[in-house]
Amino acid sequence: MTAYEIISKKRDGLSLTDDEIKFFINDFVTGDIPEYQMSAFLMAIYFQGMSSSEITALTQAYIHSGQVIDLSHISGKKVDKHSTGGVGDKVSIIIAPIVAAAGGCVPMISGRGLGHTGGTLDKLESIPGFKIDYDVETFIKKLANIGTCLIGQTSELAPADKKIYALRDVTATVPSVPLIAASIMSKKIAEGIDALVLDVKVGSGAFMPDKNSARELAKTLIRIGEDNGKTTIAYLTDMMHPLGKAVGNWLEIEECIECLKGKQTGPLMDLSHQLAGAMIYLAGRTNDIEQGIEISKNMVADGSAWKKFLEITESQEGDISYLEHPRKYPKAKYSKTFSATSTGWLDNIDALEVGLCSVQLGAGRQKVTDRIDPSAGIIFHVQRGEKVQKGAPVFSIYTNKENTLDIIFKRLEKAVHISATEMSTSPIILDYLDKNDLD
Ligand code: URA
């Protein structure tokens, strides 16, 4: 068996055996297969897809590239949430503290930015000192003490995903059901959960552009979860527009601070409470999701979620003085604000274009070796559906790259639309699926 033969087989649309898939993944992790062959393999999968048994084999190869954590000595059900990726999606950073404050146990292996979408790890690392690369023993200790610990894939946990994820980010091979499924589910199964809430994003800013493809992805993820003994549910949620007001790493942490202090309402908080409520229910702490949502709201209202976020940050060596006094964070050198040229209602913000522009501003990577600029990104001063007066600010952009400022400003001007008439906004949650929806 050679890497060349396996790439050719997939390129020609043939099915791979479990052994061929295992060989390719294992030899890439050890360094015996180079990145250029893995890139070709990923592109072949992107174009040809994989059968359900190939996806199972791919996920197993990813999982067993590292350890699977046993958390049975920690009492209660362990529950996590994962999103398939969106623009301005900072929900994990809001709900991990909420659920931990409610007494849940949340082991969370997250990802970095992927393509035009942001990543939880890059956002957390924008907090000075915040560490996301603990060994398994330390991860378990922090989880048991605090109720949650947010880390990335490591050389011990889902190392195949760690290496392949970084390559997919820059080779345009992200929007593929088999590759997304193996990536997400390997991390979630390795971290030792009992139950999982999935946020499958739909729309221009997501990897699944329409409801049908998102349902297909959701079913694949649920099937893998349930086959591995994990209760798995999925919400399909809107990603036609960025989620919340901020896009970009530190800018999104500032928004999370507002959310955890109970100072924000709208789609981001509605979605956060729904997903946190579902986690609290799956953790066995309530009789239904509605009660879970009530608890989630209480955790924000009484300050417990904010306190827990500070506790998590301290536990993961972050400097909480920046969370307590966000204004002391260094600002990007260049900024520019777009103001409304007429009075109207903000009716469209193109999420894909916003995501691509934020990468150009420095908030994402274009090459594996690129460094993220934590202060770069975009702030929307008005949310979709809100009224804006002529001359009022609509969005501001922030960057340290002087020569991208005007180019990106012009692109973003075209990515927002203000309508002369008020329109109704679509719901953030579009659908719900669980094991009963599997064919
Ligand atoms: N999140 C992941 O962890 N992996 C993907 O491929 C997409 C979203």
The predicted-structure confidence for 318-352, as pLDDT tens digits, reads as follows 999 999 999 999 999 999 999 999 999 999 999 99
Tell me the C-alpha distance between 399 and 124, whole Å: 19
Radius of gyration of the chain (CA): 21
Alpha-helical regions (H) of 204-302: 211-227, 249-260, 267-282, 289-301
Find out whether 317 and 131 touch, Cβ atoms under 8 Å: yes
Q: What is the mean pLDDT of residues 367-391?
A: 94
Tell me the C-alpha distance between 61 and 65, whole Å: 6
Instruction: Provide the token pair at 409.
Output: 């400003």
Q: Is 111 in the pocket of ligand 1 (CB under 6 A)?
A: yes
Pocket test for ligand 1, best of 91, 167, 170, 174 (most atoms within 8 A of CB): 174
Contacts of 138 (CB under 8 A, 6+ apart): none
**368 pLDDT exceeds 90?**
no
> Percent of the chain at pLDDT above 90?
96
Q: 46 C-alpha vs ligand 1 centroid, how far in Å? A: 14
The CB density around residue 87, as the number of other CB atoms within 10 Å, is 29
Q: Is 175 in the pocket of ligand 1 (CB under 6 A)?
A: no
**Nearest-atom index, ligand 1, CA of 180:** 6
* Cα torsion through 175, 179, 182, 184, rounded to 10: -30
Find out whether 191 and 69 touch, Cβ atoms under 8 Å: yes
Pocket test for ligand 1, best of 46, 81, 82 (most atoms within 8 A of CB): 82
pLDDT, tens digit (0-9, with 9 covering 90-100), for 245-297: 999 999 999 999 999 999 999 999 999 999 999 999 999 999 999 999 999 99
Q: Is 340 in the pocket of ligand 1 (CB under 6 A)?
A: no
Q: Which residue reads 């200790």 in tokens?
A: 141
Q: In Å, how far are 51, 181, 185, 273, 397 from 220, measured between CA atoms?
A: 11, 7, 10, 25, 37
pLDDT reported for residue 247 = 98
Q: Identity (one letter) of the amino acid at 253? A: I
**6 pLDDT exceeds 90?**
yes
Find out whether 351 and 86 touch, Cβ atoms under 8 Å: yes
Task: Tell me the three state secondary structure of residue 437.
Answer: helix
**Nearest-atom index, ligand 1, CA of 111:** 3
Q: Is 184 in the pocket of ligand 1 (CB under 6 A)?
A: yes
Q: Is 114 in the pocket of ligand 1 (CB under 6 A)?
A: yes
**Atom 2 of ligand 1: nearest residue by CA position:** 184
How wide is the angle at C-alpha 311 spanned by C-alphas 305 and 316, nearest 5°?
125
Q: Is 183 in the pocket of ligand 1 (CB under 6 A)?
A: yes
Instruction: Provide the token pair at 283.
Output: 């953790």
Tell me the C-alpha distance between 269 and 318, whole Å: 24
The mean of the pLDDT values for the chain is: 97
Q: Is 85 in the pocket of ligand 1 (CB under 6 A)?
A: yes
Q: 183 C-alpha vs ligand 1 centroid, how far in Å? A: 6
Record the pTM: 0.96
Find out whether 240 and 250 touch, Cβ atoms under 8 Å: no
**Nearest-atom index, ligand 1, CA of 85:** 8
Quickly state the pLDDT bin for 426 (edges 50, 70, 90). confident
Tell me the C-alpha distance between 202 and 270, whole Å: 17
